[in-house]
């Protein structure tokens, strides 16, 4: 059984919430969470990501493109990630 993209990203952020890679992913996640025109993440930020983090970013973008950022799993994911960043 493969680990979902949301679980993978959660684990990375949980492991090091204030690392550059975690914060880059957090910025992308918050951008993807803004409905109607919120997808304004500066694509140049992808250059700052490691190859592994960039792959996760692409998967998160696909997750958004498939309309899954409005479901309960996404909302729970956002709440969890925000708490990890805030309380680290």
Summarised one tens digit per residue, pLDDT across range 15-58 is: 999 999 999 999 889 888 887 655 666 777 888 999 999 999 99
Element (H, E) at 3: none
Whole-number mean pLDDT of the chain? 89
The residue-averaged pLDDT of 56-68 equals 92
Residue 1's pLDDT is 55
Whether 11 has a pLDDT exceeding 90, the answer reads yes
| This prediction's pTM | 0.80
User: Which distant-in-sequence residues (6+ apart) come within 8 Å of 24 by Cβ?
Assistant: 45, 48, 49, 53, 57
The residue among 4, 6, 5, 2 whose CA lies nearest residue 78 is 6
Q: Under a CB-based contact definition with an 8 Å cutoff, are residues 69 and 59 in contact?
A: no
The residue among 13, 24, 1, 20 whose CA lies nearest residue 86 is 13
Q: Where are the domains of the chain?
A: 17-86
């Amino acid at each position: 059984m493969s680990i979902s993209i949301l679980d993978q990203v959660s684990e990375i952020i949980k492991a090091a919430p204030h690392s550059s890679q975690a914060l880059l992913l957090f910025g992308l996640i918050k951008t993807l969470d803004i409905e109607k025109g919120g997808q304004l993440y500066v694509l140049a930020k992808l250059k700052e990501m490691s190859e592994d983090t960039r792959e996760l970013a692409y998967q998160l973008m696909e997750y958004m493109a498939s309309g899954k950022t409005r479901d309960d799993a996404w909302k729970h994911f956002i709440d969890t990630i925000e708490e990890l960043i805030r309380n680290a």
